[in-house]
Structure 1
Amino acid sequence: MAKKILLFVSGNIGQEAEEYICPDGTVVQGGLTNEAPVKYLLKTYPNVQELICVVTPEAKNAYQELKKRLNMVATGLSYVEVPFQESMSIEQCLPGIMENIKQNDEILLETTGGFRNAVMYMMLLSRLLLYVDSPIVQAVYSRRPAPGKQGSIEDVSKIIRLFDLINGMQELSSFGSVRTLRQYYGQAPEDARIASFLESMEQLNESILLCRVKQISENLKNFQTSLIELKNCSDPIMQALLPAFRKKFNGKLKTIDLIRWYLESDMLPQALTLYTEKIPERILGKNRPLETREGQSPWRVKPEHAYRDEATDELLENVFMLSWKSQKINPYQTEKSHGKYKQDWYPWTLKHLKKLLPNEQYDVNCSMEKLHQILCDYLYIKALRNLTNHASETVDSFKKEQEEYLCEQGYPALNDVTLPQVKKIMFKALARLSTIR
């Protein structure tokens, strides 16, 4: 790891030395365009080892003069000349620069000099340096003095770092990651609203990826609250970027909106987990497709199922088991517990749904056809989630009768389903649920 100064050499030469006031209040002198800002960087960072200088034919003489003057104030410097002509494309120039920068080198940018569009090259270089993990420690620009006055060396590091903020919001929108935003704001952002937002996003992702089901609802609520409060943060750039992020959720953030965002961003494990664990709340409840009749006792989760939410447990242990509990349906013509897994009864419940519902426990608030489709969606997506969470499993772990029944309903075989098909199935399932109050 080494500190290096990167600059585009300006061809101006023959100017008298002028004074420039630096960001730290000290004064440096320089007659060449690059001279004063580079002297400031050398004074501030005495352990600089190398200057990478992009030099056009017109700037050759200025480059030699610059080296001569810098060697008078600093010793042990090495210089790398990267030849450049304005007729060259940026693709031809960049390799000569980047081959002299190693991972974890710390870069100081001097942005004053160079040809007409050198600033655009600097912007691109700042992105490349981020990609190769070579941080920009400081970026400076020199402002020429007015007659009889001092010039100034401006610290423009914040402008360069704003690209990190923009990239961070893009990373968040596309992948749900706050890694770059953490690097930009640090582990303890000064604005409490920004700190709360980053922490809530991290906690939500963690609870979903690690299947901490009991924490998902609380973390989702915290994220919703922090996203609303973020619009009052003190960072005007964040405020400007926030509406585009909120638009991902149509201005709101409910479970279905979050699952849809995960799918659009190709975050399939998060989408499958959130659907499996939280969608039962959209199926069971007041004004939901299945509503417990008045006077019926609420469902109680058994101690061995304490890891589940109540709605998920009720759906799997009661609704899908109606064929097992009903005297009307006995597909095996044996005792109910005779060598069968409880999941074997799921397809029988779906096959005979019209005989089983409504009943003394549940009212049905949608068509039976729609309820049947919603339950099939859930069973299929739950199977997909189980298979993705246990990569060694095959369809054999998913009961054969469930597989056959769902394939009859038009779902792809689990061993053959493709990612585009999974996303299409889930988008359709979400669309069906979105029409429910």
Structure 2
Amino acid sequence: MNPGDYEGLNDSLTEAEHEVEIYLNKQYEELNVGDVVAKFSKAPFGWDGICTLYVVNELVRRHRRDYSYSNNPNVEVSIVANRLLSETNKFTIRPAITISSEVINGFIAAWKNIFGVSESFSTTDSTQLFRLSREKENVRSVENVVARYKLLYKDIAAYSFSAPLDDMVTLLEGWLAERDPLKYFRRVIDEQQQARTLFDTCKEVVQFVQDQMGNYKDVLHFVRDNRDNFSFVPVELHEAVTQLMGIENATWPIGIRTYMKLRNTLAGAIDAKRTELRKQISEEYAKTYAQLEQGCKENEVSTSILSDQEVIVKLKTQSDSIPVLQTNLDTNAFFAEQTAKILAAKPKPKPMVGDDKNKKEETFDKKYPTQVALSTRTTLPIGSEADVDKYLAQLKKQLMAHIDKGETVMIIK
């Protein structure tokens, strides 16, 4: 139906429509359309079935009558167009429910309030409004809004700020579930303020996803990648850490610029700590290699048996995890491993040779030093020469416990 189709001169029923209307008014509330066709195919009318269906359809278009199809009182236009002729007996016709102009105008005003004036419809016909505002054939329909928001929500459902999209879909699906036109119009009118607020929020969410989703994900990845590093930033930044970590469960609206500023501040602090630790690791390994090289010299072993210093330092400093870098500061295990290689490569002593009378060959038992980690911590402060002597005596006691058993020792810590 188009505006003006049944206004002015067209407002009155045609003679054929009047005859069918008189007949229908004498029948029960609901009548099978096939029976109407059969009635008017006989004398004194003798109408062809297509003609009768046309007249019945005009009464529906004038809102004097409504169709039902297979007991469904809300029949889509496409079903009428495609099946009325071939499945006439599945259609029934009943008096139409008149929807007041007050409700119609209220619905149109509510629609404009929710979706904007540009999204309004050009018709005031209740049947057309019901279908145009709901069915997917119209790009502005509720069904299409639901489809768009569902698709976007599927992509971002893992993020808490997506909740408005889900809330809007739930609200609109409630409208679509309302199959009675009058109840539908009234529900839209009653819920228009809630719908407008949600729709405006959803537009903001959509714009955010289009413009800022990359920044949001960058910040989120930073938080997740540095969760173990945050405890090492200065105390004055602990509040910033708490605020930044809130992004994972933050609801709409998202203050992305604030989060990006916090990220940049904390990234600087974390990088500074990494740089400090990497420098300390390099220094510790430089000291360790100096000791190992001295050990090679003392044991007449080539330094080539040692692991490549540059490779080891690179390996120990490449992690972005501050806890891992702190662990890598301890070179004791590496020192013990390399010392074992030096001792294993140490040349064996040569046999002793004397004159023919005393010529003999000494044999040496293969004996490797025991690697010892001394307990060097103290429970009391050292403040005098006597304290130093006492401390050294404790170290000596630990060493002699091994030597007295016939062991030689190599201190690794």
TM-score, normalisation: structure 1: 0.28
Structure with greater helix percent: 2
Q: Over alpha carbons, which structure has the higher Rg?
A: 2
TM-score, normalisation: structure 2: 0.30
